[in-house]
Structure 1
Amino acid sequence: MSRIQTMAVICGICAVTGSAQGAEYIIKPFITIGEEYTDNVHETDTNHVSEYITRLLPGVTAQYKAPALDADLGYMLDYRYYARNKRSNELTHDLLAKVDLTVLDNFFFIEASESFQRASLNVTRDVTRESLVLDQTDRNLLTAAPFFVFRPGPRTTLTTGYRFVDTQYSDSTAVDKTDHIGFLDASHELTSRWSLTASYTYTRELSSLDDFSQHQAAAGFRYEYLDKSFVFAQAGNTWTSYDSGRRLDSLFWDAGATHDFGRVAATLNTGVRYNDDPLGNISEETFVSGNMTRRLQSGQIGLTLYY
């Protein structure tokens, strides 16, 4: 299948900025208009059908900053008009909103976020980057997390709290779920260059497929051998007990290094992690990634490789 984007117009509509009683805000509306051609609009192996697609994408970004409250909003509507009527016209939404609230300075915080976006039904391949409709669904993710930060010593920080995560999908075959998570994170600076980390989470997940209880523990370190240059590693294990009687025991790890050469910085990262997709499948992923960034006078340019 081939897709050709023949025209794209991006218009930034005048931004609104202001301040009031110590708070600052900015609102930026925008609109994008695009024209695309595809020789396989239904994305099938045979019987290809061509189509011209006009896309209208209006949206808005907004930020609000106050002494105890930060809020960010990004929203975009995606309207797709199929000129030859080979598909029904479509309307989708993309929303990302986040709020950070300081209830008590340096002690009690609340984070909340909501997103509404397209998600791939198969976690091993993100088809949303290459297709408008194939093997994907709308996902609504709501998160709320009150937490406390303790500093029992000048070099030690403890963070503990509760996280509520509700995930809903528009596809009837996808697995809706609600997670109740308790967590404890600890960090300790041994020296100005060495630091240790440890974490523990307990998760109770209620879903339309199978409920489970999960324990996860991890520990790691970071060593900064030069300014802005460091190595790190973390390893842990996850124990999952499903109400149906199934048990899973999975080891995960993550390690990497970043070196600053001056105007160029390079990062190498590798590890093993476990991902679940909207259909409830769990897959093990062994990954290797590399990144190189060169700083310029008015920005930066970078190259990223991922396997």
Structure 2
Amino acid sequence: MAWQQIHLQCEKSQVDLAEALFLESGAVSIVLEDAGDQPLFEPLPGESPLWDEVVLTAIFQLADSGTDSSTMSESATSDFEALGQEIATQVHASRVWLTALEDKDWEREWMSHYQPIPCANNLWIVPKWLTPPDSDATNIIMDPGLAFGTGYHATTRLCLDWLTEQPLAGKMVIDYGCGSGILGIAALLLGAEQVLSVDIDPQAVLATKQNAERNKVDDRLRTFLPHEFKHYCDQHDVLPVDMIVANILAKPLMELAPYFATLIKADGKIVLAGLIDSQIEEVIDAYKPYFQLADQHKFTQQEDKHWVRLAGTYIG
């Protein structure tokens, strides 16, 4: 089986129209990419930001599934060129072009992009289909397809590195905004006694449960949506906890500051991530009545140096 791709570059205001026109014309998939080098940071729930200039790729299955796209007829090529030009005109595209896409084993292709990741102090993140490079290391076995927090993002790595430096033995930890559950699982593998994982996304709650089972720590990790977590805390003697980890975004982190202060022991530790350097002072100000956030650490790789971790203690 082979596929034909039509690419066009347009302004973000035209993307919805271009998508609709391609789908009406039989496209089986639409891919959006940055046409330049404009960063987009992790959006808030419900937000779907786009780059100012977008390259939209519409993928079409060739009519004859046995056709090799490299030998596709001139008439078929002409038809796709005409379609691309027609839609490009309607959305005022700055350029349009065609490429062929050969069929592959897409599951294996996706899996090939993931490799084990070394973190600080002999902690590794290992995709579930790969063998850990060091069986004696602390290995977190993850499914990268489930939810945010696979270890490949700088904010997750910053939190994991911080956790490896903490005395976690016997500690009770809250992982707020748990995503895939990777931070809570890491805390348990590093010696924590129990983790309470919370997320607003039911898919993240499910992913955390599955990853906890995969790492054989599900007996010490509980998962909740926020309202379930509050009810659980009201019904059980689990507060205050020793530590909070929260890898979310600046705005919700600032809103959560007074709530976090009700969950943690005096001198309890907190680590915050999902922040860029321009947001640091505002976040510190929001936490100042409750926490001393004296530890700031930037990610070391050049392309991700805008990501920052804050850590500190509850001052009451």
TM-score under structure 2 normalisation? 0.26
Give the structure with the higher percent strand.
1
Give the structure with the higher percent helix.
2
TM-score under structure 1 normalisation? 0.27
